[in-house]
């Protein structure tokens, strides 16, 4: 992070001709278990990771917002005393959306110069978008001393993504980027937004491997899964699938098509697995945690149908090394992206070697490997 802080300071001075007053960071995230459960009012178990988006800023008084995206030389500006509209730069809409919805509650801020820089891999399912939204919201909150509760801040960022960007995500990513805790995963009840901190045993490493599978239809497939879950909840006559049981689903099986039945089965069983995983992890029961991660992967593959052949191959390669000593599954929205392994630290090199040897040979794709640890959520960084 120190290197990125130096780089962003230098760039800010070069672009604006004076130094930044504030630098904040917001982390990406990895979800250990509980996939697609957040928008079903269910449970998730993510942690924030040591890959971050940084924003350097200084306030202005002329209602102008200028922003520079250092990593791809992007630029965008708009005025706060006019309606905030869509930008033709798609990345800038994550920023504009957050400004728009914060301005609705706190209309008094008067402009800002920003530089954005980071190392959360883009499009890898590690929540680079949430890290951007949360870093923008944290910048405004801190610069202008705005009273915004952290959970409220996460909800504003989710609203920006849902309504301004048009991606119908749940609350998990913005929540964990805001409220993550060092060395802990958070069990989040996505209905009440209550949390329980679950320590990650110190002899385990969080290993993330990017399959580098790119799927062009992630957003439309994601929205389709949401619709199918809503359809199942309607047939089961519950508010959300969180309120359904497997017995109820079996009773109503005749009344729904097979796809909707399997989507609902994934959500209902995944919620149960996530609650059990939080207990297993807190009791340092890695054997059970590993089983639950494996069941979760199979459920995503067969019932929710969000994995991809190369991702399944990657999971199998890692699982063959780990046996019952650690867990591995696809993480995030799916259709490509990353797998996460919770692995005894002494096995990390073996995992890396096995993946280097077998993944490209089997799939023709080259992986990227990120050794992570759980970190705190967004906040200011010392300059």
Give the Cα separation of 345 and 183 in Å (integer): 14
Q: Is 173 a catalytic residue?
A: yes
Q: Is 125 annotated as a binding residue?
A: yes
Give least dist CB 331 to ligand GAF, A: 8
Beta bridge partners of 284: none
Residue in 76, 113, 173, 303 annotated catalytic: 173
Give the Cα separation of 101 and 28 in Å (integer): 22
Q: Is 341 annotated as a binding residue?
A: no
Answer whether 229's CB lies under 8 Å from 264's CB: yes
Residue (40 or 205) nearer to ligand GAF, CB: 40
Q: Is 77 annotated as a binding residue?
A: no
Give least dist CB 228 to ligand GAF, A: 14
Residue (25 or 158) nearer to ligand GAF, CB: 158
**Measuring CA to CA, which residue among 42, 121, 212 is closest to residue 129?**
121
Q: Is 373 annotated as a binding residue?
A: no
Helix (H, G, I), strand (E, B) or coil at 157: helix
Residue (9 or 178) nearer to ligand GAF, CB: 178
Question: CB within 8 A of 353, min separation 6: which ones?
Answer: none
Interface ranges with ligand GAF (CB under 6 A): 31, 35-36, 38-39, 169-170, 172-173, 332-333
Helix (H, G, I), strand (E, B) or coil at 151: helix
Give the Cα separation of 60 and 55 in Å (integer): 15
Q: Is 70 annotated as a binding residue?
A: no
Per the structure block, which two tokens stand in for 357? 């040897």
Residue (25 or 31) nearer to ligand GAF, CB: 31
**Order of strands across the sheet with 368-372?**
327-330, 338-344, 204-210, 368-372
Q: Is 282 annotated as a binding residue?
A: no
Residue (57 or 174) nearer to ligand GAF, CB: 174
- Between vectors from CA 16 to CA 13 and to CA 21, what angle results, nearest 5°? 65
Give least dist CB 4 to ligand GAF, A: 23
Per the structure block, which two tokens stand in for 381? 């960084």
Give least dist CB 147 to ligand GAF, A: 26
Which residues are annotated as part of the binding site for substrate?
35-38, 222
Which residues are annotated as part of the binding site?
35-38, 123-129, 161, 222
Which are the catalytic amino acids?
A: 173
């Amino acid at each position: 992070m120190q290197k990125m802080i130096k780089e962003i300071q230098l760039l800010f001075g070069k672009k604006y001709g004076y130094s930044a007053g504030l630098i904040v960071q917001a982390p990406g995230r990895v979800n250990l278990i509980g996939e697609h459960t957040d928008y079903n009012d269910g449970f998730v178990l993510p942690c924030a990771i040591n890959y971050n988006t940084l924003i350097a800023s200084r306030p202005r008084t002329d209602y102008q917002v200028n922003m520079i995206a250092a990593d791809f030389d992007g630029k965008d500006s708009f005025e706060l005393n006019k309606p905030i509209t869509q930008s033709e730069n798609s990345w800038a809409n994550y920023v504009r959306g957050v400004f728009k919805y914060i301005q609705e509650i706190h209309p008094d801020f008067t402009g800002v110069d920003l530089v954005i820089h980071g190392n959360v891999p883009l499009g890898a399912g590690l929540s680079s978008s949430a890290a951007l939204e949360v870093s923008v919201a944290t910048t405004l909150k801190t610069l202008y001393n705005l009273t915004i509760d952290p959970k409220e801040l996460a909800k504003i960022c989710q609203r920006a993504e849902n309504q301004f960007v048009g991606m119908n995500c749940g609350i998990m990513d913005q929540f964990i980027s805001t409220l993550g805790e060092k060395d802990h995963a958070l069990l989040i009840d996505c209905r009440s937004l209550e949390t329980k901190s679950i320590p990650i045993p110190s002899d385990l490493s969080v290993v993330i491997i990017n399959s580098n599978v790119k799927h062009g239809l992630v957003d439309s497939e994601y929205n389709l899964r949401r619709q199918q879950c809503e359809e199942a909840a309607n047939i089961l006559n519950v508010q959300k699938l969180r309120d359904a049981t497997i017995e109820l689903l079996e009773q109503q099986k005749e009344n729904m098509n097979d796809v909707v039945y399997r989507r609902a089965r994934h959500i209902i069983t995944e919620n149960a697995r996530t609650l059990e995983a939080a207990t297993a992890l807190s009791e340092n029961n890695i054997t059970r945690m590993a089983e639950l991660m494996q069941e979760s992967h199979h459920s995503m593959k067969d019932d929710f149908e969000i994995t991809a052949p190369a991702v399944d191959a990657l999971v199998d390669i890692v699982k063959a090394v780990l046996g019952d000593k650690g867990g591995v599954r696809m993480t995030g929205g799916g259709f490509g992206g990353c797998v996460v392994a919770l692995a005894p630290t002494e096995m990390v090199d073996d995992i890396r070697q096995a993946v280097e040897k077998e993944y490209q040979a089997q799939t023709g794709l080259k992986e990227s490997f990120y050794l992570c640890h759980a970190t705190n959520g967004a906040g200011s960084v010392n300059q």
